[in-house]
Structure 1
């Protein structure tokens, strides 16, 4: 995202939020000692840790039920899907409005 913003000449100085529904993954990204007990890919952890240390990103916990990206990657119950589409400002263009 930072590269895209730079290409578009958009100034964005604040850390970009990296949202995650896994508290353990956030903890591992911040604390390298815990990483020794996991089987996660080493390169990914170093990449995220470097960006955290540079202040480019900031991690934030979001419960699974509030993850907007889930609507694009998972099959969800219709009520949950409707709730997430409303949060994105999406509307059903096929609804009869008469």
Structure 2
């Protein structure tokens, strides 16, 4: 994100906030430990750890029920989907008026 903003000539001095609802993922990002379950994220975890150490990224825990990004990454029950659509201020342009 910071590279894209730099390309757009937008100066950002603050660290990028990385919101996560998975405390295990945050723990691995801060203290990369080799587990059988983490082999597939080897490059990503070192990239994030490097940026955390350099102060470019800050991780912040967000409870799952407040994780708005779920609408873009998961299949959700209709009620949860509608709740997140409302939080994003989205409207259905195909609904009859």
- Give the structure-1-normalised TM-score: 0.83
Unaligned runs of 5+ in 2: none
Counterpart-to-counterpart distance in 1, 2:95 and 2:46: 48
Q: How many residues were matched structurally?
A: 95
Residue matched to 1:43: 43
Unaligned runs of 5+ in 1: none
- In the TM superposition, 1:7-26 aligns within 5 A as 7-26=7-26
Deviates more, 1:88-97 or 1:12-21: 88-97
Counterpart-to-counterpart distance in 2, 1:8 and 1:47: 23
- In the TM superposition, 1:1-98 aligns within 5 A as 1-32=1-32, 35-37=33-35, 39-40=37-38, 41-97=41-97
SS in 1 for 2:6: helix
- Give the structure-2-normalised TM-score: 0.84
